[in-house]
Amino acid sequence: MRKYRRRYHEDTMHGDVYTFPAEWEKHEAIWMSWPIEKESVTGKSSTPVFAEMIAQLLPHVKVSLCVNDNNQREEALHLLASKQLASSTIANLNCRFVPHYDNWIRDFGPIFLANTTRTAAKLAVFDWNEWGYQDYLDSIDFGTEAKGYGK
């Protein structure tokens, strides 16, 4: 793995080395995606659980929440309003319109890289479509905003 990383980084601009920061390193925000399925594998809705996770995070860190549309945004805000969070805490939430069909952001979300001195950042783009279900993905109409997402 080390040889691959070294070889990969030699191709970066100006010879800077960019790595994927560890989860415990200082970061600007946590990225999450709002679930689109109304029921989880347990048969219960997962949206209250996501709202509770976000409510617990917001007093400590900014959350960038990917939503498909205004309906999802309003659903998330409605559930968070029931948590009676302070307005300064809610200000840590940034809803972003990012087309998605699953809440597992690790499969489609942005991969942020930082240089070794943590003074510059880049976004790695892989055009990853989860498990290779391209026919399935092609059959879903995400709307015009999703065309070319990640390219």
Q: Domain residues for 120?
A: 2-126
Decide if 133 is inside a domain: no
Question: 85-139, pLDDT tens digit by residue?
Answer: 898 899 999 999 988 877 877 767 777 888 888 788 887 766 565 555 555 555 5
HSE-CB at 33 with a 13 A cutoff on CA atoms is 19
CATH number assigned to the domain comprising residue 36: 3.75.10.10
Question: 54-75, pLDDT tens digit by residue?
Answer: 999 999 999 999 999 999 999 9
Q: How confident is the model at residue 13 (pLDDT cuts 50, 70, 90)?
A: low
Q: What are the DSSP calls for 12-25, one per residue?
A: SGGG--EE---TTS
Decide if 47 is inside a domain: yes
46: Cβ–Cβ under 8 A, 6 or more apart, which residues? 35, 37, 39, 40, 103
Decide if 138 is inside a domain: no
The alpha carbon of residue 54 and the mean position of all alpha carbons in its chain are separated, in whole angstroms, by 13
Assign 68 to helix, strand or coil. Answer: coil
Decide if 141 is inside a domain: no
User: How many domains in the chain?
Assistant: 1
Decide if 61 is inside a domain: yes
| Span 13-40, average pLDDT | 80
Decide if 43 is inside a domain: yes
**Nearest of 106, 117, 137, 107 to residue 25 by alpha carbon:** 117
> How far apart, in Å, are the Cα atoms of 46 and each of 30, 32, 80?
19, 13, 14
Kindly tell me if the per-residue pLDDT of 147 is higher than 70.
Answer: no
Kindly tell me if the per-residue pLDDT of 144 is higher than 50.
Answer: no
Decide if 148 is inside a domain: no
Decide if 94 is inside a domain: yes
Kindly tell me if the per-residue pLDDT of 34 is higher than 90.
Answer: yes
CA-to-CA distance for 65 and 93, rounded, in angstroms? 7
- Residue given tokens 């942020």 in the structure block: 112
